[in-house]
Structure 1
Amino acid sequence: MNNYNYKILAMATVLSLAFSSCKKDLDLTPTNDITADKAYADFSGYQSGVAKVYGSYATPSNIGTGTSDVSGQDPGFADFLRGYWNLQELPTDEAACAWIGDAGGGIQGLDYNSYVPSNVLILGMYARSMYQISVVNEFLRESTDAKVASRGITGNDAQEIKYFAAEARFIRAFQYWVLMDFFGNPPFITEENKVGKESPQQITRAKLFEYVESELLAIEPLLKETNEYGRVTKAADWALLARLYLNAGVYTGTNKYNEAAQYAGKVISSGHYSLHPVYANLFKGDNDKNNPEVILSINYDGVKTQNYGGTTYLINAAVNGDMGPVGFGIPNGGWGGNRSRPNLPNLFGDYKNTKDKRAMFWGDNPNITDISIFKQGLAVTKFTNLTSTGTTPPSVGGTYCSTDFPLFRLAEMYLVYAEAVARGGSGSTATALGYLNLLRQRAYGDASGNLSSYTVDDILNERGRELYWEGFRRTDLIRYSKYTSDTYLWPFKGGIAAGKGLEAYKTLYPLPVSDVIANTNLTQNPGY
């Protein structure tokens, strides 16, 4: 983890306290005497403010592992990455969790695609995204030119605050993309809405697409070309646009493959990124160093950002005692929960002997007949807390991890470009094939795995090999019309061992029942 993020996270605690005791009625003076004017009195206040923006998806709170910014949520389930990963991976052919009795049946609902509006894991994801949006909105209210000037902040500091604001707008757009992808029609609120005075209105998926697109295009010229590690850049903006456009047909009914290829191409041609020479080192405890591939990451530190979500969850939940937790940099960890369904290792053919070094599995039994048994299904060893030199980073309790999570990396942009071109988008098939072979040459160590041509379906399989367990699979299967299909199955799809097709409405998650009840502006998604 880079120093920037954990230094500013410490400052963010002050800002968090500034608003935690405020009454909902904005006409009242908060009982805590740290008002917004005091919290943002100088440039350091804005540094703390943007730290809170970033910290809202790196930790469940600024206070410690036992607390959550999201009211009523177990801190372990209130973390962004843990919620996002669970909702993207557990209902698919890539992963299954043995803890089917946990979270009030929330894990079973995802494992079996039987999720309902009361699912606590769905609520946790929804609430975390809405919370980070609210943090951004508050920061933007205090970052107008007029307010910055009224506080006597000028020159380079005032310009840096403009960059902070653009980065915050990106993170809000990212979270609205998450909500659009998962829920379709979520509540919508910006800094223009009055806090505590009105319930958010519901926005349609198509309108939210337009908003996210317009925000990303608007902030593009306002973002830095390069930035500190873990902070947003123009390339992150382009990468999210490329991802947005690749899925536009799902979100709006209108394909935008030309635009997907265009913006993936902008990242690729920017000259700022290249493939990491060693695939495995992308997912290790020192992946913040000498890593030219990652465009934007969520940063973690085993001492300074203790969190039972994040990569601490990804690594510990994928390891049990038999696997030797010390060998994964978690000497006192290893929870034995998440592993693969057989479809994932089968993408590699002979996964035990393949030259493809991306096949990172442990165990002898790829099949699952009882989803509650961790040893059924191959363990995935892709993420580890060990560094590239085999050492274990400092960690409180020998469980918390320092491995950063790549939200966007160059390899995804190669795959977006190739798929967009294969689906009819503007671009060069030869160039796209070259990008695919760069990924495969890294994986194989030579040209023996190179392709001479490719199809759209080949891209899905290559995404599975390259991006597995990075939070893409549900979205990918939906785009390929395989998520609910009865022609593509995996164990316990639909809750039965052999798998079955799903109802079409399952491509969206339900809005949490508690929010539908509390906010009369919301209409539940069809089927729930």
Structure 2
Amino acid sequence: MKKYIFTLLAAAVMTTGCTGDFLDKAPSDSVTTDEAITSLKDVRTANEGLYALMASTSYYNASMFLYGDVKGDDMQATYWSSGYTSYKYYVYEHSAQSPNSGGLWGRPYYIIRNAYNILSAIDNNKIQDASAEQLQNYKGQALAIIALCYFDLTRVYGYPYAKDNGQSWGVPIVDHAIGFDEFPERKTVAECYDFIISQLKTAIPLLSSAKDDGHINAIAARALLSRVYLYCEKNEEAFQEASSLIEELKASGEYYLATRDNYIAQFDFGNKFGPEALFQIANTTSSNPGRDGLSFMLHWWGYAAVALTEDFAAFMKQDPDDIRNGLLASYLNAGDNKYYDVLLKYPGENSYDVPSFENNYTVLRLSEVYLIAAEAGLKAGASHRAQALEYLNAIVERGNPEKTVSDSEFTLDRVLDERRKELVGEGHRYFDMLRNGKTMYRSGGKHLQGTPAEVNWDYFKCVLPIDRTQFTFNPDMPQNPGYAKD
């Protein structure tokens, strides 16, 4: 495939959108390209800056989760949410002139750039007051964060791997902090996944396995690797990575599945960094997204910009004894005198009736690893089927002990059903359906006019367009199919 190039950094400045700080302004705890990293304190500060950049409404404090939920069939924008990112995602309001990416281009690339500054300082032996173990762990975190950013860029801007074995366009891959005069090539989806996997494989041996709240450790990186394998159809590898991690955690007890009795409580405001939380975005009273964060967007007494679809609420209520129904609530809206079903995974500090700005957001959770092992084992073949079914039933039976899945019921659709029950509101449903070539039906109920009624990987807007400013730098670069260049 012929390669096309473009000026990544300059273009990202113009497409960052609501962040506005891709190059001109960095957060106070991040490090810009002209600032030296020469001590352990500098490395620590720069490392915290990466997480601060991730904790943006342009990324994991809102946009990434909203993108993965409201573009699917289980959550939707409300009619009073026009103007919010969630509404634009929901109605697929995307064009080269107005990509409405929510920052999902500029923010990840900004993080990647700063992560490479840390790697450069460590690799060039600029840090003389730190132990090798300390530097290895910081290097591992930077590599894992780069991998996570590229994974998200690839699944937002590139078609699912299974659609064409990864031969469609992905995103540009760079291996250092680039400047304005460099021209990185846009890679295929397959090449992007190869790069992401290589970064994680390099990172994991460097990382500590000790729990490190709000940071990526070796456990979180392995969970991410199993997810990446699943997305790029490496099902044998996904099963091996997920299952080995599960069994090791069973033995160590460092992380464990919440019990049925404690299931709802694990999402309480006061239970941040719980036993299932492999990696969370941490928010505090002094550092949080305010009213623009995910919790305020979803909370009925916040903006209530996102609600559950009637189809999903009805699906959950088919099994009233499923403990996860305790995370759903119905509220009457005075505007149209209709009841809306909402999700209670992001409650306030003292009451479900008071929204909070300070919720943590879980990027990687142990329950997902069980479901990765179940799906990957099913797809990989008969030798893993029995164990994969055990992992699925660990999640199913926690929800309702009377609903054990039999071998004859163990199908991909059954696994996807369990994923939608377990992971709703955590940014997975849209990607789960898309990567498996499934169609999402979005009509009836309270669905709004103007939203696509059916969405699958053949709908060109299932991926975001390249912003028109990119073509200023390289007019020959191909746009994603179906979109114009201007």
User: TM-score scaled to structure 2, two decimals?
Assistant: 0.81
What residue number does 1:188 align with? 172
Deviation at 1:409, TM superposition (A): 1.2
Q: Say whether residues 1:297 and 2:275 are aligned partners.
A: no
The one of 93, 97, 108 aligned to 1:129:
108
Q: Say whether residues 1:84 and 2:64 are aligned partners.
A: yes
Deviation at 1:153, TM superposition (A): 2.3
Asked whether the 8 Å contact 1:339–1:379 carries over to 2, the reply is: yes
What residue number does 1:328 align with? none
3-state secondary structure, aligned to 1:363? strand
Deviations 1:96-119 (A, max 9, x none): 11245305xx54442223422334
The one of 406, 422, 426 aligned to 2:362:
406
Distance 1:493 1:399 in 2: 25
Asked whether the 8 Å contact 1:419–1:456 carries over to 2, the reply is: yes
What residue number does 2:372 align with? 416
Deviation at 1:206, TM superposition (A): 1.3
Distance 1:238 1:279 in 2: 24
Distance 2:231 2:138 in 1: 28
What residue number does 1:58 align with? 55
Q: Say whether residues 1:143 and 2:143 are aligned partners.
A: no
Change (3 A) 1:259 1:342: same
The one of 316, 326, 337 aligned to 1:348:
316
Change (3 A) 1:384 1:375: farther
Deviation at 1:58, TM superposition (A): 1.2
3-state secondary structure, aligned to 1:36? coil
Asked whether the 8 Å contact 2:90–2:451 carries over to 1, the reply is: no
Q: Relative contact order (C-alpha < 8 Å, sep 6+): which is higher? A: 2
3-state secondary structure, aligned to 2:364? strand
Aligned amino acid, residue 527 of structure 1: G
Deviation at 1:13, TM superposition (A): 5.6
Deviation at 1:497, TM superposition (A): 7.6
Q: Say whether residues 1:246 and 2:230 are aligned partners.
A: yes
What residue number does 2:166 align with? none
The one of 167, 171, 174 aligned to 2:145:
171
What residue number does 2:44 align with? 47
Distance 1:458 1:297 in 2: 28
Change (3 A) 1:374 1:483: farther
User: TM-score scaled to structure 1, two decimals?
Assistant: 0.75
Asked whether the 8 Å contact 2:113–2:177 carries over to 1, the reply is: no
Asked whether the 8 Å contact 1:286–1:402 carries over to 2, the reply is: no
3-state secondary structure, aligned to 2:288? coil
Asked whether the 8 Å contact 1:284–1:403 carries over to 2, the reply is: no
More deviation, 506-515/494-503: 494-503
Aligned amino acid, residue 385 of structure 1: G
Asked whether the 8 Å contact 1:493–1:500 carries over to 2, the reply is: no
Change (3 A) 1:15 1:235: closer
Q: Say whether residues 1:451 and 2:451 are aligned partners.
A: no
Asked whether the 8 Å contact 1:358–1:465 carries over to 2, the reply is: no
Asked whether the 8 Å contact 1:421–1:428 carries over to 2, the reply is: yes
The one of 345, 348, 352 aligned to 1:385:
348
Deviations 1:246-298 (A, max 9, x none): 121xxxxxx31111101111220222321022222332212225x22111111
Distance 1:110 1:477 in 2: 16
Q: Say whether residues 1:275 and 2:253 are aligned partners.
A: no
Where does the alignment leave 5 or more consecutive residues of structure 1 unmatched? 1-11, 23-34, 60-76, 249-254, 322-333, 367-371, 393-397
Q: Say whether residues 1:101 and 2:82 are aligned partners.
A: yes
The one of 452, 461, 468 aligned to 1:506:
461
Asked whether the 8 Å contact 1:117–1:513 carries over to 2, the reply is: yes
5 Å-filtered alignment, 1:316-335, equals 316-321=296-301, 334-335=302-303
Deviation at 1:450, TM superposition (A): 2.1
Runs of 4+ in 1 over 6 A off after TM superposition: none
Asked whether the 8 Å contact 1:341–1:490 carries over to 2, the reply is: no
Q: Say whether residues 1:263 and 2:245 are aligned partners.
A: no
Deviations 1:194-244 (A, max 9, x none): 423224322221111111111111222111122421222222222112111
3-state secondary structure, aligned to 1:378? strand
Aligned amino acid, residue 110 of structure 2: Y
Deviations 1:438-488 (A, max 9, x none): 2233223xx22222332111001000101111000111011232246xxx4
Q: Say whether residues 1:361 and 2:328 are aligned partners.
A: yes
Asked whether the 8 Å contact 1:176–1:212 carries over to 2, the reply is: yes
Deviations 1:291-341 (A, max 9, x none): 22111111111x1212137xx7332222334xxxxxxxxxxxx11211011
Give the number of equivalent residue pairs.
Answer: 436
Question: Percent of aligned positions with the same letter in both sequences?
Answer: 22
Deviation at 1:86, TM superposition (A): 2.1
- After superposition, the CA RMSD in angstroms is 3.0
3-state secondary structure, aligned to 1:475? helix
Asked whether the 8 Å contact 2:154–2:171 carries over to 1, the reply is: no
The one of 140, 149, 153 aligned to 2:129:
153
